Amino acid sequence: MRPIASKLLAKTCVGGSHLNPATAALLLSLCLGFPPSMATCPPYCLCASDIISCSGCNLSALPSDLPGYATRLDLSHNALTVLPVDWISRPFERLATLILSRNSVSQIEVNTFTVTPHLLHLDLSSNQLTVLNSSIFTGLKELKELLLFGNQIIQINPGAFSDLLSLQRLYLSGNRLTAFPLGLYWEPGGPRNLTFLDLSYNKLSKVPVQSLLSLTRQGGIYLQENPLACDCALIALLEYWMWKQYRPLVDFRSEYPCRDNLEPECSQPVVSNMPLEAQTYQVEPGKWLRVPCPGLASQAQEEQWVFWVTPKTVVNSSTNDSSAHLTVSPNGTLEIRGALIEDSGVYGCVAARGRQYDPKESVEVNVVVGNLSTASASGLPHSSGAEHFNTAFTTLASCVVSIILVLLYLYLTPCRCRENRGSRGCGGRAITLCSDPREVESGQRRSNGKRVAFLEPQAEHSDIGGPKTPAMNLGHVTTEGILKNGSRTVGQTFTDPAHMA
């Protein structure tokens, strides 16, 4: 390798002239033994460790001789117009961030990003994209953040976001979209964990309210500065979001429509001077349950928009399916037909009430199917004074029983020896040790300092002719067994302190 470098050096160094930085870096890599396929930092770029910045170089084509060790590549503020498939000669296995903002990109070919399989952040903002074709982001299975704001996107074709399984944040602000990209959530191969969607500053005039009520439970959707039609469904949605303190609305409330007045046709009869309090409805499995919408009068208008956010889905009053499990009557009452255990949970009624909500008020109700203990086991928040009392009583009774058992274990003698020495009532297996040895002779027992020891049992009929072992020796008491007052195994000789003198 070194002779090759010497020849190159001899050919390029003439008359004491210096090599350009790229040639010098190439010669250095050859001398150090790196493979010749290892590209060097282009002279018009800035390379720092694993960062390559070619920003503001007026590039009209992507450089193909970039080093493969980069984790961050900045190609912003150039004149790029097309992202071709072969824009790089080798895969960027370590590239995590690719910045292509502030260019004139209007076309992205399919499979362009297959050479960056581990990309996490892709910035295509402030370009000239108008249509997002199908499968243009193929290969970006690990991408988490995609920036497309500041383009001219008017159409998103089906499958445009396929393969973006890990996408969490998507910025589509400042485009020309007229329809909400609902397929982003349900198309096969699309994002599964999308928690942030920015659609602000587009041309949306209508949004799918029922779908938004379900989607916004998972993450934030920003819709400010869109020419939204201020209909009854949108008013109900905005009121519900304000009550929930939904951050995309609270942070940009002045940039949403329907701020000041409520449309006359959306005014619903409400229960006057009655605060909205959380209520609980209980029903047996298999029965029917009717739940009125909190705050709405029973004589509500027939053509109103009322949505119910249930634990599993969202239903509205415009759907008239008599065979459905959950239905909403024209006056906003929710009807559960043939209640199931899994129907237990929190239900929210979304309607245009035309009022400001107090933080303590609630437009949600609790539905319990079955007994209250079943609801508690399923996670439904419920408090019961009787249940707390039973738990406390059971705990107290357990403590009392435990104390009694401990006292019985410590102070109850397992075998009561009689004063009659001729009788072998205890069989020589248990003796009572007292603080005063005279109490043993007299057969008296005192509660002070009483200790019990268990001795090794002796055979009753063995060695009949031999001398019998006395049951107790006041000088030395030899025990083999378990000392009841002590908690350790005794295999030693105990000496009475009174006889040690």
What per-residue confidence (pLDDT) applies to 274?
61
Helix (H) or strand (E) holding 401: helix 385-411
Encode pLDDT of 42-70 as tens digits: 888 999 999 999 999 999 988 877 888 89
**Amino acid making up residue 77:** H
pLDDT value for 372: 61
Residues of the chain with pLDDT below 70 are: 1-39, 259-265, 267-275, 298-303, 320, 359, 372-391, 413-501
CA dihedral 166, 170, 176, 179 (to 10 degrees): 60
d(CA 422, CA 31): 108
Q: Which pair of structure tokens corresponds to residue 406? A: 């401990």
pLDDT value of residue 11: 37
**What pLDDT, in 10s, does the model give residues 71-92?**
999 999 999 999 999 888 788 8
Q: So what's the pLDDT on residue 157?
A: 95
The per-residue DSSP string of 66-93 comes to --TT-SEEE--SS---EE-TTSSSS--S
CB 296 within 8 A of CB 305: no
For the range 483-492, what are the long-range contacts, defined as Cβ-Cβ under 8 Å and sequence gap of 24 or more?
483/451, 483/452, 483/453, 484/410, 484/451, 484/452, 484/453, 484/454, 485/410, 485/451, 485/452, 490/453
Q: Nearest 10 degrees: CA dihedral of 326, 328, 333, 334?
A: 10
Alpha-helical (H) ranges within 245-371 are: 247-250
Q: How many Å apart are CA 295 and CA 334, to the nearest integer?
A: 14
- pLDDT given for residue 415 in this prediction: 52
Residue keyed to tokens 């020495």: 421
Residue 297: enclosing H or E segment and its boundaries? Answer: none
